[in-house]
Amino acid sequence: MSDFLLELRSEEIPARMQAGARAELEKLFRRELDAAGVEAGEITVWSTPRRLALIARGLPLATEAVSEELKGPPVGAPDQAVEGFCRKAGVDKGDLETRDVKGRATYFAVKNIPGRATADLLAEAIPAIVRDFSWPKSMRWGGASISTESLRWVRPLSGIVALLGDEVVDCEVHGVTSGAVTLGHRFHHSGDITIGNADDYAVKLRAAHVIVDHEERQDLIRSGAAKVASEAGLRLVEDEGLVIENAGLTEWPVPLLGRFEEDFLEVPPETIQLTARVNQKYFVCEDEKGELANAFICTANIEAEDGGARVVDGNRKVLAARLSDARFFWDVDRKKTLAEHAKGLERITFHEKLGTVADKVERVAKLARWLVEEGIVVPAEAGTATGQGATSTAIPASAVLTKDQLADMAEQAARLAKADLVTEMVGEFPELQGLMGGYYARAEDLPDAVADAIRDHYKPVGQGDDVPTAPVTVAVSLADKLDTLFGFFNIGELPTGSKDPFALRRAAIAVIRLIEANGIRVLVSEMARYWNTGDTVGPGLQVEDFLHDRLGVMMKEAGVRYDVVQASTDLGTRLDGDIWRVRRRAAALQGFLGTEDGANLLAGYKRAANILKKEDWHGAEGEIARTGEEDPLAIVDDPDLQSVVAAKMEQRRASELSYAAEPAEKALMDALANSEPAASRAIAAEDFSAAMAALAALRAPIDRFFEEVTVNADEENKRAHRLDLLARFRAAVHKVADFSRIEG
Amino acid sequence: MDRNPQNSFQDMILALHDFWSAQGCLILQPYDMRMGAGTFHTATTLRALGPEPWNAAFVQPCRRPTDGRYGENPNRLQHYYQYQVILKPSPPDIQDLYLKSLEVIGIDPLKHDIRFVEDDWESPTLGAWGLGWEVWCDGMEVTQFTYFQQMGGFDCKPVAGELTYGLERLAMYIQGVDNVYDLAFNDRGVSYGDVFLENEKQMSKWNFEVAETDALFDLFNKAEAECRNALANDVPIAAYEQAVEASHIFNLLQARGVISVQERASYMGRVRDLARGSCEAHMAKEAPAWAEKYPEWSK
């Protein structure tokens, strides 16, 4: 057994590619070992900006010899066949052996493959790994690049260390030969370092100011940055992305804290943090009050002779220049009101078929106002919480808006929400869209609710993002996303497969989350009708389908079965456009099906439905003109026909039975008489748990009915009545959810 | 003669000249045309094509009309200098050479944090791209370091390494000055502002306010026509000059704010066609001789 070390040295590897490169190196190394039949033990992979390293522990020194037998044609087969077999097997005809196979003499080729030294296998594997290595972007370099066939690597590949045990594995890739020699830190160490074996590799590099283990460097940055922050009486704002990036930019990371002029703190803290992080890869700090401090932490790659004073001073100057720019943008942008900025949106195309951003703003403003006027988005009540998390405050009675005020504010916020897109600051930092608009709105003394809505109207963006609950924000956010959905569906720009260039899926998810978090009750088609200037629902039904699709996916992720969602969505002839209701119904249904009553009731339902189908029994509703539906029973669920069906059923029930009902039959009739109205009342009140409970009361009677009563009685009047009874049972169940959609 | 790069802008340039001259580079003079970057110099673009070794260093004045700030911004200029080094093929020790050049002008890598941070370069106008880094000195970008992979739409065979130093910001750093106009141009009391401040004021005004736009549109069209004329007569270097001219006129039109967003793409496309056409013609003209001299090379 022996340990193997491979180091591939190169000019600085981009930080963002290093994690992928480590995975690629391990994958290719395992592939090579597998192909050679060598068992791979423990493998460790490290990276620095200047090297990728792999250590494989406990490799055998040689592979075992194997004997391979290949069965050939029977003796006496045509020469051609025998020769073909020899070629394929790579043996001479004279070396073939003859064996008996089920009484027939048959040729066999026996190949003894001797074991191979692992060092030899590795000498072939290394060039293959280098050649097959896949980088996000690769390049050619140097004299060899006179041919485009020359080696491609992320940056010039400058050296290979390959040691099995204490021995060099000799190989060569495009002029780079393997050896035992590597280099240390670019500035802290000069000259060659000779590595003895896998065990002294990290040790010798450390002595040469290189920490080869990326995780150790990450730890050093994490703890070092926290330490310099606390030494300055501050708290580090943690940023794992920056930790990894800085570890990918350094071989000997040294976090250093510097200060910038306090005056810069007058610009919004987010801009400072973004400037520091994106442009300079600096951490920022907070003071004890949790406010941004005038400090930054850079990660140097050297232990500077002066303790880093010059390094810090240089970085401070660079940051100051950047912050000056930010302050300049902040000052310039505030010279105009948001309304003035908004005029610039007329010059920005939203989509060639959907007009400019100004056109979109106009549509969103109208829709936002309408949502309030129709009572879809309502003013918050006094005492309820607004805002999220730490900034949440209860609304005092004096701050409660009237419907008219809310409508005005929603329209105003919508008209200004996109204005920051044409400001200098958002031009420089697109990530600050919304946020800057909020700041500028406050700077011109617009109401807080309007400023908050401008700031938050893009939310919710990602899965973990807060969902707005402040009414003005909800109206603008919902209107903005609905306009996007209606607009793109209207011009036929739909997402396909993995392609969703206008992020319509995200918009749909945001709409669903807004509806859910705020208990918004509205039919999608209703909103579409307004959006489409009242003529028709336009893209409304398509968008409704799309929202249902997303809802199904979201609920599935939350553990609700897809068929349950479908059963809760389908109202027979159309989908329930009330997303809030669908979601509640599905949750209750999923819960019910998980109970014993639920599972048994489902079984009873299926049995009843099967009998009705087999008997082609349409019950009372069967007497209503057919609509051409494939399943005639479907029309019982058509809300437009429900009253007619109910009247017919009532009529039949009222007519006296022409025979004495059996006890189990009577029990089901009685149970239905109780459960039907109970379920109806619960559904009307949208209390889906109560509706399920009403159904649960039917479970025992339906089980007993099937046990004791013969449906297909010889007497036609009995049969008709019993089938009607089952149809009634079925209809009662359907009032609650479409159980025919449920599997199992 | 002793150089004093720490206290003099011109000595810093001379120190770089000394250094790269000692490495075997030709020390060229600036191209005598207005251009947006040193990369436009024929010593970079056209010489990056073909198999012949080429090592050169030069200062190139760069014009970026939209960056003018009337002499009021401490960092931004509409006219500034780049120091270009082009090494073809890229030598194996190119990074070490570069770091030595920094030491020559007074940047000690054990006192200052030097970093190679991923930054790929692309010029759609020139049909060119390369991979490399921006080199940071204490967090400030001081050099663009690029391995050219393609130029004029052709693979670079072999690949050239290009170093572009931003001379003013490097000098500001070395001299410890916060305002570019305070830089010591020499060590006898002449500042960068003495040389260029009035120039920045007047040229900013001309770029943004004065330049006659009808004449500029006319110049653009004439440069385009002349480029085609030169191409038709098989003088690709002359054609390339007209492409450079058209590119600069386009930048001036941008500064005057008379090109709409929609038109912008169309103008850029026209400049790109000229530049690529010139590179193609240059390649076509030289390729037979190159192939004969370097049998391993092919277009």
Listed by start position, the domains of chain B span 7-206, 210-291
Cβ–Cβ below 8 Å for B110 and A139: no
- What is the pLDDT, as a whole number, of residue A625? 42
- What is the pLDDT, as a whole number, of residue A711? 83
pLDDT tens digits for range A675-694: 888 888 888 888 888 888 88
ipTM tops the 0.90 cut: yes
**Closest CA relative to residue B106, chosen from B16, B207, B197:** B16
The nearest CA of chain B is from the CA of A301 a distance in Å of 6
- What is the pLDDT, as a whole number, of residue A624? 46
**Closest CA relative to residue B46, chosen from B281, B231, B279:** B279
- What is the pLDDT, as a whole number, of residue A71? 87
Cβ–Cβ below 8 Å for A145 and B159: yes
CA distance B84 to A189: 29
Residues of A in contact with B178 (CB under 8 A): 317
Q: Which helix (H) or strand (E) holds B59?
A: strand B54-63
CA distance A267 to A262: 10
| Biggest CA pair distance of chain B | 56
Nearest chain A Cα to B175, which residue? A314
Residues of A in contact with B75 (CB under 8 A): 321
The nearest CA of chain A is from the CA of B252 a distance in Å of 21
| pTM of the complete model | 0.76
Residue A462, token pair as written in the block: 């990602």
Residues of A in contact with B90 (CB under 8 A): 141-142, 145, 156
B98 pLDDT higher than 50? yes
CATH topology of domain B210-291: Methane Monooxygenase Hydroxylase; Chain G, domain 1 (1.20.58)
Considering only the beta carbons, identify the residue of B95, B99, B138 that sits closest to A314.
Answer: B138
For testing the chain A interface, which of B67, B94, B111 should be mutated: the one with the most A CBs within 10 Å?
Answer: B111
Considering only the beta carbons, identify the residue of A137, A140, A315 that sits closest to B139.
Answer: A315
- What is the pLDDT, as a whole number, of residue B142? 94
- Write the single-letter amino acid at A519: G
Q: What is the DSSP letter of B181?
A: G
* The residue to which tokens 């000098």 are assigned: B171
Contact between residue A218 and residue A255 where contact means Cβ atoms under 8 Å apart: no
B223 pLDDT higher than 80? yes
CATH node for B7-206: 3.30.930.10
- What is the pLDDT, as a whole number, of residue A398? 65
Q: Which helix (H) or strand (E) holds B238?
A: helix B236-255
Residues of A in contact with B173 (CB under 8 A): 314
Contact between residue A325 and residue A428 where contact means Cβ atoms under 8 Å apart: yes
For residue A57, count other CB atoms closer than 10 A to its CB: 14
Q: Could you give the 3-state DSSP secondary structure of residue A100? A: strand
The average pLDDT across B148-160 equals 94
Cβ–Cβ below 8 Å for A311 and B75: no
| Crossing angle of helices B213-232 and B236-255, rounded to 10° | 160
Report A:681-740 residues touching B (Cβ under 8 A): none
β-pair type (A254-259, A292-300): antiparallel
Cβ–Cβ below 8 Å for A315 and B116: no
Cβ–Cβ below 8 Å for A321 and B75: yes
Enumerate residue ranges in chain A where pLDDT < 70. Answer: 382-398, 533-537, 571-574, 618-656, 744
The average pLDDT across B34-56 equals 96
> Is A313 part of the contact surface with chain B (CB cutoff 8 Å)?
yes
pLDDT tens digits for range B274-284: 999 999 999 99
For testing the chain B interface, which of A145, A251, A282 should be mutated: the one with the most B CBs within 10 Å?
Answer: A145
- What is the pLDDT, as a whole number, of residue A646? 65
Listed by start position, the domains of chain A span 2-62+117-207, 66-113, 214-332, 341-522, 595-741
Cβ–Cβ below 8 Å for A298 and B139: yes
Cβ–Cβ below 8 Å for B90 and A142: yes
Name which residue leads in pLDDT, A715 or B42: B42
The nearest CA of chain A is from the CA of B291 a distance in Å of 12
Q: Decide which of 1.10.287, 1.10.730, 1.10.20, 1.25.10 is the CATH code for A595-741.
A: 1.10.730
Q: Tell me the CA distances in angstroms from B241 to A391, A649, B186, B230, B281, one per residue in order.
A: 61, 92, 33, 10, 13
- What is the pLDDT, as a whole number, of residue A656? 62
Considering only the beta carbons, identify the residue of B99, B113, B130 that sits closest to A311.
Answer: B113
- What is the pLDDT, as a whole number, of residue A628? 40
- Min mean pLDDT across B87-91, B184-188, B265-269 is at B265-269
The nearest CA of chain B is from the CA of A157 a distance in Å of 10
pLDDT tens digits for range A434-467: 999 999 999 999 999 999 999 999 999 887 888 9
Q: Decide which of 3.30.70, 2.40.50, 1.20.1070, 2.60.40 is the CATH code for A2-62+117-207.
A: 3.30.70
Q: What is the DSSP letter of A62?
A: B
- What is the pLDDT, as a whole number, of residue A627? 42
- What is the pLDDT, as a whole number, of residue A651? 64
| Number of helical (H) and strand (E) elements in chain A, helices listed first | 26, 20
| pLDDT over 70 percentage in chain B | 99
CA distance A470 to A388: 9
- What is the pLDDT, as a whole number, of residue A640? 59
- What is the pLDDT, as a whole number, of residue A633? 45
- What is the pLDDT, as a whole number, of residue A629? 41
Residue A404, token pair as written in the block: 């008219």
For residue A162, count other CB atoms closer than 10 A to its CB: 25
Instruction: Give φ, ψ of A263 to 5 degrees.
Output: -55, -30
Q: Tell me the CA distances in angstroms from B17 to B25, B28, B62, one per residue in order.
A: 9, 10, 18
Residues of B in contact with A315 (CB under 8 A): 113, 138-140
| Number of helical (H) and strand (E) elements in chain B, helices listed first | 7, 9
